[in-house]
Amino acid sequence: MKVYSIKELLSKGKDALQEEVIINGWVRSFRSNQFIALNDGSGQNNVQIVIDYNNFDTDTLKQITTASSLRVEGIVAESKGAGQDIEVIAKTIKIYGYAHPDDVQETILQPKKHSLEKLREQAHLRFRTNTFAAVMRVRNALSFAIHQYFNTNGFCYINTPIITGSDAEGAGEMFTVTNFNLDNLPKNEKGHTDFTQDFFGKKTNLTVSGQLEGETAAMGLGKIYTFGPTFRAENSNTSRHLAEFWMVEPEMAFYDLEQNIDLAEDFLKYCIQYAVDHCKDDLEFLNKRFEEEQKQKPKEEKSEHNLLEKLDFVLSNKFVRLSYTEAIEILKKSKPNQKGKFKYPIEEWGADLQSEHERYLVEKHFKTPVVLFDYPSKIKAFYMRLNDDNKTVRAMDVLFPGIGEIIGGSQREERMDVLKMKMEELNIDEKELWWYLDTRKFGTVPHSGFGLGLERLVLFVTGMGNIRDVIAFPRTPNSAEF
């Protein structure tokens, strides 16, 4: 007898008729002492198990409750029920684990609609819900697509360290890593904590980005990417920020900014297309959910398109590319700016763009993904290549509808003297980054790269509204329960 996943069996459909099969899963519902809806997480759809209760002892029947886990041996038969070709007529049922209805009553396993907030409170049980399981399967497909894309395009996958001594983004939003006894910290003459006595003999932190190490690898391997967890202690409690998130960072020797943007656009479209092709059931389910959610929203917040249309729209349109300077002009003249509707009004060139501005450009003005480039050097990281105007750098951000920034990247400053000048300006110690500077000493080359926040991509593709709902165990300020 063959063991099938429910997805496998359902996709076999009528070809499986009369076959004797074994199915494992959790009970979603049990109706009329006769029909069990069983799900094993392999896909959105349940398989219907039909039992003749005369053939089973009451003890077994009593244990078939919502959330309990079963192994069913049975025969595949044609189903008379709507929406399913086949069902399984059970011959024997083994109960792996019983779930008491009183306990289930208290949880999100109870088969009814629960809020996403409630789901978050039971993160350990979320995987059993239709919505979260769909999101996780889409996330899985996107992660696979990311590896596939880079693998087929000649990139070498490398793993950059999680514990580092550097602050790649220079924003100081780091979690310290130490094995000091925090109640008894050793001090130096100046009265500061003496990290020379710490585990690594220096101050270390969780990485905010693998880029700097990624650059060193690209300077030998040509085209690389890293894909791992990154950590930011920024205290921004928003629906787009996590303290622990997954970032994909390709880095390419000999690429200029245009090539970098071309790659980012092609890469994003590949991943979205992959999800559209491989996650049909889940995306249809999420699409319905998205449509339901839109109905509850006030008119001005309603999306013009449903989820599937939004995905298709991104796939079939070329991203608009424009300079920061052009964007500022548009924003200055925009209605919300004139009418004082922006929380951060745009007054002059040099202003840092907030999510409200990014979303205005994408959702209202251009109505398509936008790539902004050539930002003021003052608002960007030290490693970006300085333009001849001496005030902008070769940075680029990809902005998506409903999300804002999904990718941030740049052409890197490959000229040693310019890079050192910039570091001095920002008080970045050359001695700390001697190994990074070395890449500019031994055959420096123009090169570029970018970072994509995996969760922001999953947010976009699944149409979810909060980043906490697209990662299994979200880490945010005051929240690390599971």
Q: What is the DSSP string of 331-351?
A: HHHSHHHHTT-SSS---STTP
Q: Give me 176's structure tokens.
A: 């310290």
241 in Cβ contact with 234 (< 8 Å): yes
Closest CB to Mg ion among 67 and 248? 248
Q: Which residues ranging from 394 to 423 are in contact with Mg ion (CB under 5 A)?
A: 408
Output the smallest distance, CB 43 to Mg ion, in A.
35
Smallest distance from ligand 4AD to CB 410, Å = 6
* Under rule CB under 6 A, residue 272 binds ligand 4AD: no
Binding ligand 4AD (rule: CB under 6 A), the pick from 167, 198, 213, 249 is 249
| Cα 39-139-213 angle, rounded to 5 deg | 145
Asked whether position 265 contacts ligand 4AD by CB under 6 A, the answer is: no
Q: Which is nearer to ligand 4AD, 49 or 268 (CB)?
A: 268
Single out the segment in contact with ligand 4AD by CB under 6 A; choices: 92-100, 181-189, 420-428, 449-457: 449-457
Please give the backbone phi and psi of residue 402, each rounded to the nearest 5 degrees, phi first.
75, -10
Count CA atoms closer than 13 A to 302's CA, side-chain side.
11
To the nearest whole angstrom, how small is the minimum distance from the Cβ of residue 471 to ligand 4AD? 9
| Rounded CA separation 475/472 (Å) | 10
Q: Is 369 in the site for ligand 4AD (CB under 6 A)?
A: no
Segment holding 19, helix H or strand E: none
Instruction: Return the one option of Mg ion, ligand 4AD, none that residue 245 interacts with (CB less than 5 to 8 A, by type).
Output: ligand 4AD
Q: Which is nearer to ligand 4AD, 72 or 459 (CB)?
A: 459
Contact call for residues 3 and 10 (beta carbons, < 8 A): no
| The one among 453, 459, 461, 463 contacting ligand 4AD by CB under 6 A | 453
Instruction: Tell me if 423 contacts ligand 4AD by CB under 6 A.
Output: no
CA–CA separation, 373 and 319 (whole Å): 13
Site string for ligand 4AD, 299-338 (x = CB under 6 A): ----------------------------------------
Task: Identify whether the C-beta of residue 349 lies closer than 8 Å to the C-beta of residue 325.
Answer: yes
Phi, psi dihedral angles at 316 (to 5 degrees): -100, 0
Region from 70-78, 157-165, 269-277, 448-456 binding ligand 4AD, contact rule CB under 6 A:
448-456
Residue 406 touches which member of ligand 4AD, Mg ion, none, C-beta under 5-8 Å by kind: ligand 4AD
Using the contact rule CB under 6 A, the part of the chain among 105-113, 142-150, 429-437, 451-459 near ligand 4AD is 451-459
43 is an interface residue for ligand 4AD by CB under 6 A? no
Q: Which does 219 bind (CB under 5 to 8 A by kind): Mg ion, ligand 4AD, none?
A: none
Over the window 168 to 207, marking each residue x when it contacts ligand 4AD by CB under 6 A and - when it does not, the resulting string is: xx--------------------------------------
Minimal distance, residue 405 CB to ligand 4AD, in Å: 5
Find tokens 């959610």 and name the residue.
293
Region near ligand 4AD per CB under 6 A, out of 86-94, 217-225, 244-252, 433-441: 244-252
Nearest to 200 by CA among 224, 223, 177, 218: 177
> What are φ and ψ of residue 290, in 5° steps?
-60, -45
Q: Which phi and psi angles does 70 have, rounded to 5°?
A: -135, 160
Q: For the beta carbon of residue 113, count every other beta carbon within 10 angstroms.
A: 8
- The site partner of 158 among Mg ion, ligand 4AD, none (C-beta below 5 to 8 Å per kind) is none
The answer to whether 250 contacts Mg ion (rule: CB under 5 A) is no
Burial group, residue 188, by CB count within 10 angstroms (0-12, 13-18, 19+): exposed
What order of strands is seen across the sheet that includes strand 204-206? 163-164, 204-206, 176-177
**Cβ proximity to ligand 4AD, 16 vs 218, nearer residue:** 218
Q: Tell me the three state secondary structure of residue 250.
A: strand
DSSP alpha helices (H): ranges in 153-278?
211-221, 257-278
Residues of span 221-240 touching ligand 4AD by CB under 6 A: 232, 234
Q: Using CA of residue 55, residue 60, residue 61, residue 64, what is the dihedral sign?
A: negative
For ligand 4AD, the binding residues (CB under 6 A) are: 168-169, 209, 211, 232, 234, 241-242, 245, 247, 249, 405-410, 449-453, 455-456
For Mg ion, the binding residues (CB under 5 A) are: 408
